[in-house]
Amino acid sequence: MDTPTIISMFFAFCGAGILLSLAAPSSRQGHVLAWLGCLASLALVVAGASALLAGQTFRQPLWTLPGLAATLTVKLDSLSAVFILITGLVLFPASIFAGGSGGNPPGPSRALPVLMFGLYASLALIFLAGDVVLFLLAWEVMSILCWLLIVAARKKENGCTDSGYLLLAMGEAGTVAAALGLLVLAVGAGSLNFSAMAAAAPTLSTFARWAVFLLTFLGFGVKAGLMPVNFWVPRAYAAAPRAFAPVLAGATLNLGLYGIMRVNAALLPASLVGPGIVVLVVGTLSALGGILYATTDQDLKMMLAHSSIENVGIIVAGFGAGMVFVATRHPALAAIAFAAALYHLLNHSLYKTLLFCGAGAVETQTGTCDMDQLGGLIQGMPLTALAFLIGALSIAALPPFNGFVSEWLTLQAMLRSAELSSTAVKIVFALCGAGLALTAALAVTCFVKVFAMTFLGMRRLPPEIPVREPSARVLAPMFILAALCLGFGVLPTYVIPALDRAVRPLAGASAAAALVPPFFAANPAHTTLPVAFVKAFHPIGAQVGQHILPGRGLVVLHRGSAANPVVFAMSTSYMLIVLVGLLLLTYGVIRLGLTRRRRLIRRACWDGGIRRLLPEMTYTATGFSNPVRVIFDAVFRPTTVEDTRETVAEHFRTAIRREKQRVHVMDRLVLEPVRHTALKLAAKLAAMHHGRINAYATYVLLALLAALTIALLGRGL
């Protein structure tokens, strides 16, 4: 079956889902969303995999718009295929979860599956659009559907309507900026078709290149959640229905990244170092700022939203490094950086969808996402805790899970800036690399807090709230995603060659050739490796598995010169075997050697003289993150809204109440100055409304004279 047919089947499944959702009774809405959503997402996975692995791309003109002299075109190329594949991998488990969890009472409303299927179709159409008109039309449909999914599904709850309108307003502002950038490209090419725009890109002036870059990076950066236009992300994620939040985090957030990569790598390849440096710095600041706020937030969904900003920053930083390497004529290094960015984009989509499914399950069973009120959930929800733990380990970039591979590759790409000639650029790379390293360390702290304060320790919920496992339709997608996180972590030598088909046109070099040497003798490229190089790695197991596994090998390695043949190397495949062996060995030594003959005596635990340790005496999420809050107080700068002291029982004890309200750094630096300026301007304009008719007539006369003067000057020019 060819790729266009598979894509047609996807849209047919979405259309059938909308019709059946309108016709089916309320009790069957979840089944419709789960079954047809899975079929539609499988079609996307097959289409994306076929394009990446077998090169089955296509371009199909649809119809011509006479007024615009534009032909609407559907096109699937290698870059689109990566995003199509990722979207399918996210939508498959997310559809099962949405069908099982439903809306925010149990059982989805009729509007939810209709809007979800419409959103699925618009997501795919954005990636398949081959011209500006179809791209912007699909983008507008997507924006409206996201707004409806937040506002219509949760219109009764406090703040959800405001969050939905904020998402829509910010999205529209970003769309306008991105559309202006695309129009600059279209004017230079004389066409609205992406292929024609890419062909005419080399003829653009430096000013036009900067204009396109700044407009599209700002516009698409809004949807991606980059600083300083990311203040909508936490509010929208917190307000999103549980059934929609995994799709919002795992699929729609990628649209902004797709727009940035499509324009600034595929349509207008980097020829200047400046844009790449801007992307690198903004990505690093977004990553660091996002993880700082994630580490100090005690709301589970808000924390995951800030974590999305962090991961988007890492992706964009890797992409910026690739742009610099392209501009400085280092294609192999650009291929490594682009591969790391796409790999991390894939990984983030998987584990963030898993974590939002876990957060939805916790909220459903407990009624809250406040980690200060949670704790001890592993006793009632052990399977949820296990799946959430895998997602936490993945996002914390701990081996052998997928987040480790892509973050490690990103940092290695940063270190390769040593090959650049400009000292100033090297300093920027060094600072950004240090910022990303700090981000990775804070991510570990953040998700230790999240898992420990949510699932471990003593239960802090009221005893009347029962805590039990959610249904199988909620657990199943979480374990599907957990298996994918492990699979994409231990098999990077198969993922990188799959991404290579998208990386090669962007970088001008092969990521697979730069990162995955063909150690397996059955691979045709094995003969290209120097014999001495292969023999040096044979004793340490680089060829283990070659008789039972296909592919190039199980080692990620970047080769250097003869004097330094190995620049960096890693194998999570062998690492998994070693880790499992060490765990089994440790268990065997402790279980059989140290504790076999010891008698277990159960006694009451000594708690410093306290008869019983109360839940409110234990560590909370706020207390855990307080050191980070203190160290980075210059960034957070909270506002104290209450600071009182009260003497209790006369002279024996003093109760101190101190409440601080956190003001986001972007609100403080961007929104608050704009708001104060607007209010001052409004106050001055209000002074003009004093009720004197003669003054109003004077205003009209002055406006008329100004208009006539401008018209005369324009005619004279």
- Residue 615 near residue 459 (C-beta atoms within 8 A): yes
Q: Distance between CA atoms of 636 and 296, rounded to whole angstroms?
A: 10
pLDDT band of residue 211 (cuts 50, 70, 90) is very high
- Give the per-residue pLDDT at 104: 43
Instruction: Say what percent of the chain tops pLDDT 70.
Output: 90
DSSP string, 52-64: HHS---EEEEEEE
Residue whose pair of structure tokens reads 């690492």 in the numeric block? 575
Which of 436, 297, 455 is CA-nearest to residue 391? 455
Residue 311 has pLDDT above 90, yes or no: yes
- Residue 85 near residue 44 (C-beta atoms within 8 A): yes
Residues forming a β-bridge with 607: 610
Rounded mean pLDDT, 438-458: 90
pLDDT band of residue 543 (cuts 50, 70, 90) is confident
- Give the per-residue pLDDT at 610: 67
What are the two backbone dihedrals, phi and then psi, of residue 658, each rounded to the nearest 5 degrees? -135, 120
Helix (H, G, I), strand (E, B) or coil at 564: coil
Q: Distance between CA atoms of 468 and 366, rounded to whole angstroms?
A: 9
pLDDT band of residue 108 (cuts 50, 70, 90) is very low
Residues forming a β-bridge with 558: 568
- Give the per-residue pLDDT at 624: 75
Residue 347 included in any domain: no
Residue 663 included in any domain: yes
Which tens digits make up the pLDDT trace of 375-403? 888 988 999 999 999 999 999 999 899 99
What are the two backbone dihedrals, phi and then psi, of residue 640, each rounded to the nearest 5 degrees? -80, 120
Residue 71 has pLDDT above 90, yes or no: no
Which tens digits make up the pLDDT trace of 583-596? 999 888 888 777 77
pLDDT band of residue 426 (cuts 50, 70, 90) is very high
**Structure-block tokens of residue 185:** 């490209």
Alpha-carbon distances, residue 218 vs 54, 278, 605 (angstroms): 35, 11, 57
The chain-wide mean pLDDT, for the chain, equals 86
Which tens digits make up the pLDDT trace of 251-291? 999 999 999 999 999 999 888 999 999 999 999 999 998 99
Residue 158 included in any domain: no
User: What residues make up the domain containing 668?
Assistant: 639-680
Q: Distance between CA atoms of 37 and 20, rounded to whole angstroms?
A: 12
What are the two backbone dihedrals, phi and then psi, of residue 606, each rounded to the nearest 5 degrees? -85, 120
The residue ranking higher by pLDDT, 684 or 148, is: 148
pLDDT band of residue 166 (cuts 50, 70, 90) is confident
pLDDT band of residue 645 (cuts 50, 70, 90) is low
Which of 229, 131, 136 is CA-nearest to residue 180? 136
**Structure-block tokens of residue 506:** 């962007």
Which tens digits make up the pLDDT trace of 508-532? 899 999 999 988 888 888 888 888 8
**Predicted TM-score (pTM) of this structure:** 0.89
pLDDT band of residue 103 (cuts 50, 70, 90) is very low
pLDDT band of residue 62 (cuts 50, 70, 90) is confident
Question: Residue 441 region, left (φ>0) first, then alpha (ψ -120 to 50), else beta?
Answer: alpha
Residue 655 included in any domain: yes
What are the two backbone dihedrals, phi and then psi, of residue 242, each rounded to the nearest 5 degrees? -60, -35
Residue 106 included in any domain: no
- Give the per-residue pLDDT at 649: 57
The residue ranking higher by pLDDT, 537 or 178, is: 178
Residue 93 has pLDDT above 70, yes or no: yes
Rounded mean pLDDT, 308-322: 94
Which tens digits make up the pLDDT trace of 467-506? 888 888 899 999 999 999 999 999 999 999 999 999 999 9
Helix (H, G, I), strand (E, B) or coil at 463: coil
Q: Distance between CA atoms of 393 and 444, rounded to whole angstroms?
A: 8
The residue ranking higher by pLDDT, 569 or 665, is: 569
Those residues whose C-beta lies under 8 Å from the C-beta of residue 502, and which sit 6 or more positions away, are 52, 78, 79, 81, 82, 342
- Chain centroid, CA 64 distance in Å: 35
Instruction: Say what percent of the chain tops pLDDT 90.
Output: 45
- Give the per-residue pLDDT at 160: 56
Instruction: Tell me whether strands 58-65 and 70-76 are parallel, antiparallel or unpaired.
Output: antiparallel
- Give the per-residue pLDDT at 30: 84
Rounded mean pLDDT, 551-570: 84
C-alpha angle 270-275-280 in degrees, rounded to nearest 5:
110
Helix (H, G, I), strand (E, B) or coil at 99: helix
Instruction: Tell me whether strands 639-648 and 58-65 are parallel, antiparallel or unpaired.
Output: unpaired
- Give the per-residue pLDDT at 127: 95
Residue 357 has pLDDT above 50, yes or no: yes
The residue ranking higher by pLDDT, 461 or 348, is: 348
- Give the per-residue pLDDT at 105: 42
b/e sequence 511-529, b meaning 16+ C-beta within 10 Å: bbbbbbbbbbeebeebeeb
Those residues whose C-beta lies under 8 Å from the C-beta of residue 561, and which sit 6 or more positions away, are none
Residue 107 has pLDDT above 60, yes or no: no
- Give the per-residue pLDDT at 158: 47
Which tens digits make up the pLDDT trace of 593-611? 777 777 777 777 766 666 6
Q: Distance between CA atoms of 675 and 691, rounded to whole angstroms?
A: 27
Residue 303 included in any domain: no
Which of 431, 348, 266 is CA-nearest to residue 90? 348
Residue 655 has pLDDT above 90, yes or no: no
DSSP string, 7-49: HHHHHHHHHHHHHHHHHS-GGGHHHHHHHHHHHHHHHHHHHHH
Alpha-carbon distances, residue 638 vs 305, 308, 547, 668 (angstroms): 20, 22, 60, 10
**Structure-block tokens of residue 463:** 């005893």
How many domains does the chain fold into?
A: 1
Residue 33 included in any domain: no
Which of 82, 81, 41 is CA-nearest to residue 57? 81
pLDDT band of residue 101 (cuts 50, 70, 90) is low
Which of 117, 171, 175 is CA-nearest to residue 147? 171
Q: Which of 294-308, 358-372, 685-699 has the lowest mean pLDDT?
A: 685-699
